[in-house]
Copies of this chain bind each other. A is one copy, B any other.
Amino acid sequence: MSQTMSVVCGVSNRHLHLSQEDLELLFGAGASLTVMRDLGQPGQYACEEQVNLIGPKNTLRNVRVLGPVRRQTQVEVSLTDSFTLGIKPPLRDSGDLAASATLILEGPAGRLDLSEGVILAKRHVHFHPDDASILGIKDKDIIKVAIEGERGLVFDNVLARVHESYALEFHVDTDEANAAMLKTGDQVIISVK
């Protein structure tokens, strides 16, 4: 039998996560991140810090850093952005960065040549285990998400991520949001076969 649940949507604009080492290369020795505002996922926040992404074709300026710092630097762009930059990032789950795309990052204190870490993020739903259990979903399951409205559509191949630290939220990038005319805060319907 088909099970459904209403979930809030969060649209991710291009952004990056930095390692402490790369943060200091870009913003100076001893630099730390400055919270601008909290995000939908507990403990995650948008920072005052911004970086330029320099690709072989063009530069995207003032790209927001998200905190806290991570073990490895990760840059998430849309497919539209990747054409502007002139790079070919793979479609990946967050943290799966081996042999992903490269870029030059530029901050106020320096530049760095990122050898990997640039991806298109796979659309996904964050579940707290309490919400996942209602639908019988486990981590890494593939589900569907339906969007209503003028540009209504059903996303297949949506990754379910289940963890104690997560709040229930559907994440897409700006291409996916614009294709469906979705905005952060909109409600969508997730369904499990």
Contacts and interface: CB of A to CB of B under 8 A. Distances in A.
Interface of A: 78-80, 91, 123, 150-157, 174-176, 178-181
A12 B36 CA distance: 37
Contacts of A157: 150-153
A178 B175 contact: yes
Nearest to A147: B156
Given A152-B157, A174-B80, A180 B181 contact: no
Contact of A156 (B91, B123, B154, B176): B154
B155 A153 contact: yes
Nearest to A155: B153
A174 B150 CA distance: 17
Contacts of A180: 179
A153 B150 contact: no
